[in-house]
Structure 1
Amino acid sequence: MENPLLNDPDVFPSPEVLAKTLGKSYTVFEELIGEITGDEVGLTVEWRFYNDGKAWLGKVCYKKKTIFWLSAWDGYFQTTFLFTEKTKPGVMELPIDETLKNEFAQNQPMGKLIALPVKVTKKKQIKDVLQLVRYKKESK
């Protein structure tokens, strides 16, 4: 099983560190971060080292609400959205890639939450992430 990178608690995930880790997908990462932290979407990214997973994760929030978690992998980054049984039907109706919907439909709940990880390597995947961000911001 693969593990996220950025495992050194003393090395903050600066743009330089992320560029080296993400490789070609770093430009996609930059574009997504630009989109979500702009005035229109208004999210913030807070990087923190988590001892339980032994890796740096980005907590992406709108005000105090966590929208998704961000992790860096070898050559790509992953956004992980957490939904409930109540919000699951709305996710299935979103205009996102059918593969994501199928994977999400198969995922088992962890407690009360169902994870929807999106492995991002290409620019065209940003639109799916933004659809999920909008839905998560609006859901209760």
Structure 2
Amino acid sequence: MKPILKDQAEFPTVENLAKHLSKENLSLYQQLLTELHENSYMEDWNYYKDGHNWLSKILFKKKNLGWISIWETGVKVNVFFSERVWPQLVANELFAKIEANEASIQKNGKLNTVLIPIQDQASLQTAVELVNFKKKLK
């Protein structure tokens, strides 16, 4: 599995994503954007030369709450948590949903990341809840 938005000249519009994603995954991506917009979040696509890939920040005002990436297998949402707030997430009932949705959890010293593959409505809702959880953190 690897990211597929490698062409810097091809901005990730819905039309361009339709070339890379299955109809089901494209629909889940569109639903994800709808959910994010309903929470007053914006996506901000940028091409990152270090990874040679397009990624989208999930922003609330200027606060980065997470990332959207497009893979051969579909859409993924990645949210980072500092070591300081990680125990709050682990103690929250949301953590069981994260584990149930086959999320990848990586602990790298001071920064922990949760990567949720958006495969169905349940994983989509879990990803949105995770972004909402991060927004509420102080």
Quick one: distance in 2 between partners of 1:120 and 1:102? 9
**1:50–1:56 CA contact under 8 A, matched in 2:** yes
**Hey, which of these two has a bigger chunk of strand by percent?**
2
- Residue pair 1:21, 1:75 contacting (<8 A) in 2 also: no
Q: How far apart in 2 are the matches of 1:102 and 1:47?
A: 23
Partner of 1:11: 10
The residue number in structure 2 matching 1:72 is: 70
Aligned to 1:28: 28
User: Any idea what SS the aligned residue of 2:130 has?
Assistant: helix
SS of 1:22's partner is coil
Q: How many corresponding residue pairs?
A: 134
User: Normalising by structure 1, what TM-score?
Assistant: 0.87
Give the AA of the match of 1:86.
R
Contact 1:47 1:58 in 2 (8 A): yes
Q: Normalising by the residue count of structure 2, what TM-score does the alignment of the two structures yield? A: 0.88
What are the Cα deviations for residues 19-74 of structure 1, in whole angstroms up to 9, with x where unaligned?
Answer: 22221211111111001112xx1001010100001000011111111011111011
Give the 5 Å matches for 1:79-98.
Answer: 79-92=77-90, 93-95=92-94, 96-98=97-99
- Percentage identity across aligned positions? 28
Q: Offset of 1:100 from its aligned partner?
A: 5.5
CA distance in 1, matches of 2:7, 2:102: 34
